[in-house]
Structure 1
Amino acid sequence: MKPERITLMCICLFAFFFFSACEKEETNNKRVVPTPPEVEPDKGRFDEAPFAWDYRFSTVSEDDLFIGDLYISVNNRYMVTPPTLYIGAAYSEKNFGISFKPEVTASKNPLDVIFEFTKPFTGTIDSKHGSIGYKELFSDALESKQYKEYINNRLSPFDVKLVEVYTYEDIEKAFPYNEVLGELLSKEAKKTSTIKGIKSRMTGVLANRSFSVYADTPVQGLFEEKAMNESPENPVYIRSITYGKTAYFVIESQYSYKEVEEAVKAKLSLSNAVNGAEVLKNSTITLFSVPDNRQTANVYTSFQDLDKFLETPFNEHLYGYPIYCQGVFTKDNTIF
């Protein structure tokens, strides 16, 4: 065989093995590249940690319980009948502030009551049972000159609670005493979400107070029968009620949580953030607002509706519903 042919054959064999090896190496390289894992659902912030608000602002006494979210209906979605809360209503210790049921119905001593207007309105509840005596006094207070002077276009500071949430399930944990409210707010937020590439999600509560009513300490005890004041159920009675309006909301945004928080606080004059309008423009809101004593939330999805809620003052007929109360033990008149 001629040397030239031998050389040509060698070159061909070399080329064959070289390209075969390259192809094999390429195939092997493809095999070692791992398949990207599927994106798992975000872990909730409060799946394993107890729920806590990130920001709170309030001038209400720590002795007052927030009850504004306990019995809330949601327009065309959920209906609940709230209990009748009034000054002097008493309940067992275990039911006070949670269910407010059943009421302790023993005969009561008279109660002197003060409506905290600029010029206080006062009166006495003489009825021994039920809410009639309080309702009559309440009606007289709303017709009084003191109330008309006090409530005229009144705007008071907002109490605020804000928290960053990671998942829609986290939203529900913000309302431990009203699971239905949390579920409906979460569901509505998920349904109306339009933001692509969400960077933050906020849940918040706003409470706006119109006026408070409280009872003087009954010197002879709440109940006529002394033994009832020291009942084994350890009764607690409502000493004060604050009326007002509330709102519950979820904001989803392309901005960081801190930027959204500052934007919301700026709306409430609690921050000097200068780009708040731009932040909220690139965010969405799901808003449940409860403006009156029907205790039914209206559902909105625009920041204009939030502005309307913030800017609408109380008036003679629009004073809200019970959003705070203070409880006192009948046995010794100490605060619950």
Structure 2
Amino acid sequence: MILNKHKSICISVSLLLSLFCSCSKEKEEPLLPESTTGRFENTPFKWDFVHPATTEDNMFIGDRNISVNNLYVVTPPAFYIGAAYTEKEFKSSFRSEIEAYKKSIDVIFTFTKPFTGTLEKGSGSSEYRKLLVESLDSQAYKEYIENKHSPFEVKLVEIYSSTDLNKAFPNNDGILGKNLTKAMSNGSKISDVKSKLAGELSSINFTAYMDYPANGFFQDKDNDMRQDNPVYVRSISYGKAAFFVIESKYPYKEVADAVLSKLSLSNVENTEEILKNSTITLFTVADSQQTAEVYRSFIDLDAFLNTPFTEFSYGYPIFCQGAYAKNNAPFRED
């Protein structure tokens, strides 16, 4: 009788423990599935958060032709105001320029007191490079950067797999995403990963641009009307960019809010606790050599956010605008 009573008590305790565990599990966030299936496997890629949204005429090129320190090396092509490419080439790499003489071009640098110059040779990048150096040496640029505040454009997205990462950074056949994946595999790990966040930050220092030509772009007007639709570079915005992946024990939304709080775009009380239970793989690009430095600390992210532009660190091309030679209509990505 005592044995049966003892057995009944054990069964009751077991049932209560089982019920308690079940309730506890219901309150927990599920762990990220160990699946290779991407979130964007069967749907078009789209960022979850973009702030502020740039105009559709501005094309982000900050992830093109980037070397990664100790991982990948590429030589950036010459890229300058007035360079012209076929429509197909303009969409991809800026490597094969159309070799045809252009009319003279007036260039304006958007400092507080604009700096201007004229390109008269009609071909090649040397004249523009010389003008760029002169603009950076000018008193107008020194005054411009003294008290400049450079806001960031922010893009965030939840990802499930490396294929999602490649779609977030598709230029150059997704090489940037592949290098981020490789760097992640060499970094520190955390257990119980509940979310993965990919992000892109960009900040413009200044823009150089040309006025639309009134009577054709090329000296030979037949080149304006070529069948391959020539597109010329009308503006270049110089700045810096960062690309990163955060793995966390916290859900995506909380991690995203923690990142945004660093940019004063969200107010989260437990930011430090969230980031302490997360890891970051961070690529930052801020120089004209277009080489990404690899970091693994949120302190390095803070340093990137808080480092101002200087006379010697002005950035690299991160945005551009193109226009069709035949009618000066703005080029827009599909």
The one of 203, 207, 210 equivalent to 2:202 is 207
Contact 1:109 1:220 in 2 (8 A): no
Correspondence 1:38-49 to 2 at 5 A: 41=35, 43-49=37-43
1:127 and 2:121 aligned = yes
Q: Secondary structure of the equivalent of 1:146?
A: helix
Aligned to 2:286: 291
Identity across the alignment (%): 55
Cα distance per residue 1:271-321 (max 9 Å; x no partner): 112221211111110001111111011111000110100100000110110
**Corresponding residue for residue 263 of structure 1:** 258
Q: Is the 8 A contact 2:162 2:177 kept in 1?
A: no
Whether 1:280 and 2:275 are equivalent positions in the alignment is yes
TM-score by length of 2: 0.86
The 1-side partners of 2:215 and 2:131 are apart by 21
Counterpart for residue 45 of structure 2? 51
Q: Of 221, 224, 227, which residue of structure 2 is paired with 1:226?
A: 221
Report the AA paired with residue 185 of structure 1. L
Structure (1 or 2) with the larger CA radius of gyration: 1
For residues 306 and 34 of structure 2, the distance between their equivalents in structure 1, rounded to whole angstroms, comes to 42
The amino acid across from 1:45 in the alignment is R
Task: Identify the range of structure 1 (258-267 vs 164-173) with the bigger mean alpha-carbon deviation.
Answer: 164-173
Answer yes or no: is the 8 Å Cα contact 2:261–2:267 preserved in 1. Answer: yes
Question: Post-superposition shift, 1:228?
Answer: 0.8
Aligned counterparts of 2:47 and 2:71: Cα–Cα separation in 1: 27
Q: Which runs of 5+ in 2 are unaligned?
A: 1-32
Deviations 1:156-181 (A, max 9, x none): 01111100011233222211113211
TM-score (norm 1): 0.86
Q: Displacement of 1:43 after TM fit?
A: 2.8
Alignment of 1:1-336 (within 5 A): 41=35, 43-58=37-52, 60-152=54-146, 154-178=148-172, 179-336=174-331
Question: Equivalents in 2 of 1:231, 1:221: separation in Å?
Answer: 13
1:169 and 1:176 map into 2 onto residues whose CA distance is 10
Aligned amino acid, residue 230 of structure 2: P
Distance 1:164 1:243 in 2: 28
Give the secondary structure class of the aligned counterpart of 1:317: coil
Report the alpha carbon displacement of residue 193 of structure 1 after superposing the two structures with TM: 4.2
Match of residue 16 from structure 2: none
AA paired with 2:193? I
Per mean C-alpha deviation after superposition, the further-off stretch among 295-304 and 189-198 is: 189-198
SS at 1:56 equivalent: strand
Kept in 2, the 8 Å contact 1:174–1:182? The answer is: yes
Instruction: Tell me by how many angstroms 1:47 deviates.
Output: 1.8
Counterpart amino acid of residue 54 in structure 2: V
Number of aligned residue pairs: 298
Structure 1, residues 60-93: CA drift from partner, whole Å, max 9, x if none? 3220100000111000111001111100000001
8 Å CA contact 1:65–1:97 kept in 2: the answer is no
Supply the AA of the counterpart residue of 1:182.
G
Letter in 2 for 1:123: G
Separation in structure 2 between the aligned mates of residue 73 and residue 125 of structure 1, nearest angstrom: 30
Deviates more, 1:200-209 or 1:152-161: 152-161
Alignment RMSD (CA, Å): 1.4
Q: CA deviation at 1:58?
A: 2.6
User: What residue identity is the alignment partner of 1:147?
Assistant: Y
